[in-house]
Amino acid sequence: MSDYANQRKVIKASPQRCFDMVSDVEKLSEWTNDIKEVKVLVRDDSNRPGDVSFRAAAMGRSTNYTLRYSYGSNPLRISWRLVESDLIQRMNGNYEFHPSGENGEATEVIYDLDVDLLVRLPGFVKRRAESKIVHAAVDDLKERLEASE
């Protein structure tokens, strides 16, 4: 059974700035504590990350996984799907960035994540992990972008 997380939040930064921050995967570890190592394996024709290998902290251990990124332009969108992992069976997710505010000076960030682990975990452990992932994906992104304004 897979677990699904969704969050919406308004960030005081342009959609393009949000998109640029999230798509700069080599710098994810600067604002996401659990990401320990990132390596871009393949880039697309626009030189954006395509296949990306990660080493991350997960439930008291280290996990390795590779994601395949794809991009949309209307709205600005970044999505990914799992290519391989030692702990995750399936992972699909995306960010969408929509202009918000009077002059589009802010962005409504929509984050979706659908994960299926190879191991079964108690519900409270899953909820704690989900909360931590969503916090890093949205709240830490907001904090990083708004602090650098």
Could you give the domains of the chain? 3-147 (3.30.530.20)
Q: For 2-27, what is each residue's pLDDT tens digit?
A: 577 889 999 999 999 999 999 999 99
The pLDDT score that the predictor gives to residue 123 is: 56
pLDDT given at position 130: 52
- Residue pair 141/133 in contact (Cβ under 8 Å)? The answer is no
73: exposed, middle or buried (Cβ count in 10 Å: 0-12, 13-18, 19+): exposed
In the prediction, which pLDDT does 129 show?
53
Each residue of 28-56: b (16+ CB within 10 Å) or e? bbebbebbeebeeeeeeeeeebbbbebbb
Q: In degrees, to the nearest 5, what angle opens at C-alpha 111 toward C-alphas 36 and 39?
A: 25
Ramachandran bin of 146, using left for φ above 0, alpha for ψ from -120 to 50, beta for the remaining angles: alpha
**SS3 labels along 20-51:** HHHHCHHHHHHHCCCEEEEEEEEECCCCCEEE
Please tell me the pTM assigned to this model: 0.85
pLDDT in tens, 28-39: 988 888 889 999
Distance CA 53, CA 65 (A): 6
CA distance 45 to 39: 18
Q: Give the pLDDT confidence of 84-138 residue by residue, as tens digits.
A: 988 778 889 999 999 998 887 899 999 998 877 656 654 545 455 555 566 678 8
Summarised one tens digit per residue, pLDDT across range 41-84 is 999 999 999 999 999 886 677 889 999 999 987 779 999 999 99
